[in-house]
């Protein structure tokens, strides 16, 4: 039985994209690769909404966060990490491991970062000690989308570099990189880009390139300078993940055919449908309603029901949903609705959830009745 | 026209392996993934000839070298890097970037590392300052295979950690990891493992695990500790490159069906056939004949012929060969004969080379005649 995959990534890979990987292996120093790299680069700039080059690493998204940090920072640099979930924490943690002086501006899990609070903190930094601000556009662990347009404006007022983790938002939630003046935007192949996992992608703006020239954190694999030199020839400093390039080219063609605006609108509709469906089942959402994510919905599991048992029962109906992370492990389940997830997939997920809840509540009711008898 | 790929990687991907990537995307935290990871792990331990766990990173091979270094070393640690080509240089360079105190034991490009010279250097290290020795098993840039059994013995006498770059040797040239006592062996997916590029793989022995506990080089993406914790559950600390796992499982099945000994023998026969074919054309090989590689043959291009022109003409006959690297760019071409490269592929390559040489030598003769007239 083919399962319906409703997790925040990896997301279902369209048949066209999977079949693109059947194309023959090629020399990564030859003309076929440069043609492939050129088309991928153009497609990426369109979805990143940028004129900046987009660097592609053979890597998971986590490596993309590491790459962004080590290219613009030196040990001891002050970094303000805006955290409100597991992935914001990871971004901050990596910066600290490499010796940055990390200050956290934390919001509770389920909340967004408040632009006014960020402005207050940055205005207090009168001598501009803060070199970079880290923001998670869409926090996958809580289903919250930060008000990035306003946060970016606040960071630009201050002048720090702005690094944005857009792993679970890019190509699903509007992110006009250049219009919002974001220095580095990072994403992964296995989310809204509809590819298998294995590529980290990041756009790098002029201020970030300049910072890289003096940044002292150690790097070779992640070093942008090696890419800059080779990208001029449409090549890479080491062997690129060619089959995933094939997949990505096809996925970018699909996005281009539909139009980015339509793709974003489809995600908005899916997000709304998921929230309506879930609340119609009497369930509560974790996120602040002002900042609901259109790619991931985090659901509070009702008292008396184990999230693991809920997910297992849903899976027995052929639908895979995700558990909670960190402090939410015992209280939350999550539905991913991004990339190639369809309305039909979502309906199947909501149906499975309805049936399972009826069963579990029925058992609970029975148990209550027994206790009361 | 399908081209014949005779480069040292990426290598041709067998149809079975490519088609394995069509399997549906799955949850990397679910049971299907753990079954996949278990089979891959068992298959890898067989080709690495080890009981040690094999860690898989979404990464190019270069990232594998970086990962090995940063997990066992601290800034300031003394490292002896045995270099005799581009990839030995890269291994040494990464160690230096992360602050190791790197001493090079260099052999000329085309030569192997001499066990007696290595012994002499290590015996002079009476107070055991050298923490790790780096060796490239098969130097892809020169077509030289180091006498690793003897080199490993010398390193064991001293007691330093031994890190081996086996990117272009593992599963093609015999490398009994445990029997030779090698602490870390690193390879990539796109060479003899017959998969697309995108995975770096490394076996980690008990002494390397112990070193990782105190090693201070900064790391999160490459951190073995995260893998150790998750591998106990057959999971990974961040999203694995699932389509490449599918490919790898199928490739490991193919190796298992043929038997590793037969696969190694096939590479030995291909290597011999390549060298015989090339020398029959009147060409000279770069490598010291005692250390010819069975996966890559580096050929000296005769005076008066441009390597780039030679490769272009060969390509016009449907065969892709590689150029020289670094100081060999203007004097060498290379043929890769590893992974799924067949005898027929090699014959096609030698035929194209013969025809092109006849053409180019004919032109040269004409030009000489003209000059003489």
- Per-residue pLDDT tens digits for B13-40: 999 999 999 999 999 999 999 999 999 9
Q: Is the pLDDT of residue A368 over 50?
A: no
Sequence ranges of chain A with CATH classification 3.40.640.10: 16-257
Q: Considering only CB atoms, which chain A residues are within 8 Å of B16?
A: none
For B54-103, the pLDDT digits (tens) are 999 999 999 999 999 999 999 999 999 999 999 999 999 999 999 999 99
Q: Considering only CB atoms, which chain A residues are within 8 Å of B28?
A: 10, 197
State what percent of residues in chain B have pLDDT above 90.
Answer: 96
Find tokens 């081209």 and name the residue: B3
Number of Cβ within 10 Å of residue B212's Cβ equals 19
Q: B307-313: long-range contacts at Cβ-Cβ below 8 A with a sequence spacing of 24 or more?
A: B307/B331, B307/B332, B307/B333, B309/B360, B310/B356, B310/B357, B310/B360, B313/B356, B313/B359, B313/B360
Q: Is B8 on the interface with A (CB under 8 A)?
A: no
pLDDT for the residue numbered A50:
98
Closest-CA residue of B relative to A246 is B196
Q: Is the pLDDT of residue B368 over 70?
A: no
pLDDT for the residue numbered B373:
32
Tell me if B45 sits within 8 A of B187, measured CB to CB.
Answer: no
Q: Is B147 on the interface with A (CB under 8 A)?
A: no
Q: Give the span between the Cα atoms of A289 and A296, in whole angstroms.
A: 13
Contacting B residues, span 318-357, partner chain A, CB-CB under 8 Å: 320, 322-323
pLDDT for the residue numbered A361:
85
Q: What is the mean pLDDT of chain A?
A: 96
Q: Is the pLDDT of residue B51 over 90?
A: yes
Q: Is the pLDDT of residue B233 over 70?
A: yes
Q: Is the pLDDT of residue A301 over 60?
A: yes
Q: Give the span between the Cα atoms of B278 and A96, in whole angstroms.
A: 54
pLDDT average, residue stretch A215-220 = 98
Sequence ranges of chain B with CATH classification 3.40.640.10: 15-257
Q: B18, A22: Cβ pair inside 8 Å?
A: yes
pLDDT for the residue numbered B210:
98
Tell me if A112 sits within 8 A of A261, measured CB to CB.
Answer: no
Q: What is the topology classification, in CATH, of domain B4-8+260-365?
A: 3.90.1150
Q: Give the span between the Cα atoms of A292 and B23, in whole angstroms.
A: 33
Which of A24, A1, A7, A326 has its CA nearest to residue A197? A7
* B361 band by pLDDT with thresholds 50, 70 and 90: confident
pLDDT average, residue stretch B258-274 = 98
pLDDT average, residue stretch A239-245 = 98
Q: Starting from the edge strand earliest in sequence, which strands make up the sheet with B54-58, in order?
A: B54-58, B199-204, B184-188, B161-165, B130-136, B78-83, B101-106
CATH 3.40.640.10 fits B15-257, yes or no: yes
pLDDT average, residue stretch A80-100 = 98
Q: What is the mean pLDDT of chain B?
A: 96
Q: Give the span between the Cα atoms of B332 and A261, in whole angstroms.
A: 51
pLDDT for the residue numbered B38:
98
pLDDT average, residue stretch A16-32 = 96
Q: Is A197 on the interface with B (CB under 8 A)?
A: yes
- Secondary structure of residue B297 in the 3-state scheme: strand
Q: Is the pLDDT of residue A364 over 60?
A: no
pLDDT for the residue numbered A373:
32
Sequence ranges of chain B with CATH classification 3.90.1150.10: 4-8+260-365
Q: What is the topology classification, in CATH, of domain A4-8+259-366?
A: 3.90.1150
Q: Is the pLDDT of residue B212 over 70?
A: yes
pLDDT for the residue numbered B1:
61
For A154-201, the pLDDT digits (tens) are 999 999 999 999 999 999 999 999 999 999 999 999 999 999 999 999
Closest-CA residue of A relative to B90 is A220
pLDDT for the residue numbered A2:
77
pLDDT for the residue numbered B372:
35
Q: Which CATH number fits domain A16-257: 3.40.640.10, 3.40.140.10, 3.20.20.150, 3.10.20.600?
A: 3.40.640.10
Q: Is the pLDDT of residue A94 over 90?
A: yes
Q: Is A5 on the interface with B (CB under 8 A)?
A: yes
Q: Give the span between the Cα atoms of B235 and B228, in whole angstroms.
A: 9
- Contacts of residue B369, defined as CB under 8 A and 6 or more positions apart, other chains included, come to none
Sequence ranges of chain A with CATH classification 3.90.1150.10: 4-8+259-366
Q: Is A60 on the interface with B (CB under 8 A)?
A: yes
Interface test with A, best of B1, B58, B95 (most A CBs within 10 A): B58
- A89: buried, middle or exposed (CB in 10 Å: 19+, 13-18, 0-12)? buried
Find tokens 């792990």 and name the residue: B41
Q: Is the dihedral of CA A25, A29, A32, A34 positive or negative?
A: positive
pLDDT for the residue numbered B364:
56
Q: Is the pLDDT of residue B365 over 90?
A: no
Q: Is the pLDDT of residue A371 over 50?
A: no
pLDDT average, residue stretch A244-249 = 98
Q: Is the pLDDT of residue A349 over 60?
A: yes
């Amino acid at each position: 039985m083919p399962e319906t995959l409703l997790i925040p990534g990896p997301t279902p890979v369209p048949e066209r994209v999977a079949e693109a990987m059947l194309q023959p292996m090629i020399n990564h120093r030859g003309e076929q690769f440069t043609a492939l790299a050129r088309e991928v680069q153009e497609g990426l700039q369109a979805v990143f909404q940028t004129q900046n080059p987009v660097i592609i690493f053979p890597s998971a998204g986590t490596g993309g966060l590491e790459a962004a940090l080590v290219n613009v920072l030196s040990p001891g640099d002050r970094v303000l990490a805006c955290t409100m979930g597991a992935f914001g924490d990871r971004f901050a943690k990596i910066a600290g491991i490499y010796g940055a002086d990390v200050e956290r501006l934390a919001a509770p899990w389920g909340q967004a970062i408040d632009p006014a609070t960020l402005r207050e903190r940055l205005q207090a930094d009168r001598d501009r000690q803060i070199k970079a601000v880290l923001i998670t556009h869409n926090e996958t662990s809580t289903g919250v989308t930060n008000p990035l347009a306003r946060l970016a404006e606040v960071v630009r007022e201050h002048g720090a570099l702005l690094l944005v983790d857009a792993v679970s938002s890019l190509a699903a939630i509007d992110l006009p990189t250049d219009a919002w003046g974001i220095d580095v935007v990072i994403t992964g192949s296995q989310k809204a880009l509809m590819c298998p996992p294995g590529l980290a992608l990041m756009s790098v703006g002029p201020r970030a390139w300049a910072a890289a020239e003096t940044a002292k954190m150690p790097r070779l694999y992640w070093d942008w300078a090696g890419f800059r030199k080779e990208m001029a020839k449409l090549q890479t400093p080491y062997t690129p993940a060619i089959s995933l390039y094939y997949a990505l080219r096809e996925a970018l063609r699909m996005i281009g055919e539909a139009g980015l605006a339509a793709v974003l609108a489809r995600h908005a509709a899916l997000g709304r449908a998921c929230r309506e469906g879930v609340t119609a089942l009497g369930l509560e959402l974790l996120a602040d309603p002002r900042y609901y994510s259109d790619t991931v919905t985090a659901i509070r599991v009702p008292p008396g029901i184990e999230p693991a048992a809920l997910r297992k029962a849903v899976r027995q109906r052929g639908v895979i949903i995700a558990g909670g992370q960190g402090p939410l492990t015992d209280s939350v389940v999550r539905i991913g609705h991004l990339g190639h997830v369809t309305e039909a997939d979502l309906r199947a997920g909501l149906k499975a959830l309805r049936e399972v809840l009826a069963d579990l509540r029925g058992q609970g009711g029975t148990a209550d009745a027994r206790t009361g008898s």
